[in-house]
């Protein structure tokens, strides 16, 4: 019976950790690649402004760069292109499509809104408080900058995102396919179902209430620790792969992983303590 309980706890622990990876890996990878795309696109976007507004001062350019690094709309545009790139790289059906064709099937309206919002906010940043009260030659310049930025932002993001896909080897495309499968909604559902089933097996393996709670506590704590270990492995492997696939070492933000790991460990410890209290009261 002890062997069975240990086996069930191990399964539950592993499934909890795998479920965490399935949910967290997609957003982590996409954010990291989007960071690179945004970083590489900044020069092209500022060049687009400078080409029609050569009198832009140094401090104004600094403001533009600061804005580009933190703008949510530009990040949203990059995220949509990265999503499209993953679909192209992970599916034989889509392998001959361009990123624009991929986006046109699902996100045309969303993309247009993001580009429009980004362009308006960026150009307003360039012209400052006078953006809403300009006329004559200044208005012509304003519209020229706006049009130039609008055209260049998608061109730049598309160019650098497509460069990632076009440079992939067959093995790298296979990695993307596995990634796409593992982070899909279907994978999320399967992971949750298997985790719940393993939790129910813990109920079946322990007869007493205290035993069930203790088993869940041990499994949840172990699952959180395993996820933490996997997060460290993910960073090491991800940095090597990103260097080969996008030509630059990616900086992965693992805060979500650490938070989920911490919650699991904390919840598990609480359950173990509760189980001990129940057992003590029963005795």
**Per-residue pLDDT reduced to its tens digit, 61-80:** 777 777 787 788 888 888 88
CA dist., res. 56 & res. 54, Å (int): 5
Tokens linked to 94: 């889509």
Is the distance from CB of 82 to CB of 161 less than 8 angstroms?
A: yes
For 109, other C-beta atoms within 10 Å of its C-beta total 8
The full DSSP string for 92-157 is TTTTT--HHHHHHTT-HHHHHHHHHHHHHHHHHHHHGGGGGS--HHHHHHHHHHHHHHHHHHHHHH
pLDDT category, 269, cuts 50, 70, 90?
very high
pLDDT at 189 over 90: yes
Is the distance from CB of 74 to CB of 39 less than 8 angstroms?
A: no
pLDDT at 267 over 90: yes
pLDDT category, 14, cuts 50, 70, 90?
very high
pLDDT in tens, 220-246: 999 999 999 999 998 888 887 777 666
* pLDDT greater at residue 29 or residue 167: 29
CA dist., res. 238 & res. 159, Å (int): 23
Return the half-sphere exposure (C-beta side, CA atoms, 13 A cut-off) of residue 230: 22
């Amino acid at each position: 019976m002890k062997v069975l309980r240990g086996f069930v706890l191990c399964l539950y622990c592993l499934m909890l950790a795998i479920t965490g990876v399935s949910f967290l890996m997609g957003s982590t990878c996409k954010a990291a690649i989007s960071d690179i795309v945004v970083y590489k696109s900044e020069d092209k976007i500022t060049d687009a402004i400078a080409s029609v507004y050569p009198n832009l001062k140094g401090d104004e350019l600094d403001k533009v760069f600061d804005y580009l690094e933190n703008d949510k709309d530009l990040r949203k545009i990059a995220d949509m292109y990265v999503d499209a790139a993953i679909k192209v790289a992970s599916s034989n059906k889509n392998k001959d499509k361009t990123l624009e064709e991929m986006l046109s099937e699902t996100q045309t309206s969303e993309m247009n809104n993001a580009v429009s919002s980004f362009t308006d906010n960026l150009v307003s940043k360039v012209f400052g408080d006078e953006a809403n009260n300009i006329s004559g030659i200044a208005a012509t310049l304003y519209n020229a900058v706006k049009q130039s930025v609008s055209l260049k932002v998608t061109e730049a993001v598309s160019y650098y995102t497509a460069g990632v896909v076009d440079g992939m080897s067959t093995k790298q495309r296979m990695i993307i396919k596995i990634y796409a499968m593992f982070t899909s909604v279907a994978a999320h559902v399967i992971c949750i179902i298997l985790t719940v089933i393993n939790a129910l097996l813990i109920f079946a393996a322990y007869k007493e209430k205290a035993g069930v709670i203790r088993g869940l506590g041990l499994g949840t704590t172990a699952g959180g620790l395993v996820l933490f270990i996997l997060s460290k492995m993910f960073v090491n492997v991800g940095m090597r792969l990103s260097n080969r696939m996008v030509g630059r070492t990616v900086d992965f933000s693992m805060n979500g992983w650490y938070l989920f790991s911490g919650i699991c460990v904390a919840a598990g410890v609480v359950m173990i303590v509760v189980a001990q209290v129940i057992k003590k009261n029963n005795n």
